[in-house]
Amino acid sequence: MPYFERDVEVLIDSATLQARIVELGKEITRDYQGKDLTVVGIMKGSIFFMTDLAKAIDLPITLELMGVSSYHGGTETTGEVRISFDLTKPMHGKHILIAEDIIDTGLTMKFLLENLAARHPASIKVATLLEKPARAKTKVPIDYKGFVIEDKFVVGYGLDYGEKYRNLPFIGVMRSE
């Protein structure tokens, strides 16, 4: 029995995830033809999504990473957003696509959008694998959305519980929920 079966129930299986990411990649490819696109992955949760999304975009892209969090180890947001790792290149004049694992309260994304806008990019758009609208505290634009989910604590495919379960190839719900 795999280690996770007692703890995690599958919500979105791997094949469904991959199919949707390929669709998003096609949309992004179409929308960014002829533009200098930089995909900014938000660590750590978006790493799997950003990697697969980047492979699905049929353009010469640049990848950047940014560490931002409002959870600080728990399952509830503190509301305080912190940058733990910043971009390594200037974003002035670049077309930025933020790749995020999940948008729930919107507070982290609002902070990110304001922070990146101050760097004077040509444009900023948002791609998120998951949206959890029931928890929204602020409205943020989502240009490319994988799935809308209910208000459940999810793990897998980069999302964690206590830094564990990120390596699951699917999105799951903790059975203790």
List strand residue ranges (DSSP E) for the chain, in order. Answer: 8-12, 37-43, 62-69, 82-85, 95-103, 123-131, 144-148, 154-155, 171-174
Q: Is a pLDDT exceeding 80 seen at residue 169? A: yes
Report pLDDT for 175. Answer: 84
Report pLDDT for 40. Answer: 96
104, 143, 151, 160: the active-site residue? 104
What pTM, to 2 d.p., does this model score?
0.90
104 is catalytic: yes
User: Confidence class of residue 77 from pLDDT cuts 50, 70 and 90?
Assistant: low
Identify the burial level of 16 via C-beta atoms within 10 angstroms of its C-beta, where 0-12 means exposed, 13-18 middle and 19 or more buried.
middle
Q: What is the pLDDT of residues 107-122, one digit of tens each?
A: 989 999 999 999 999 9
For the domain made up of 15-152, the CATH class stated in words is alpha beta
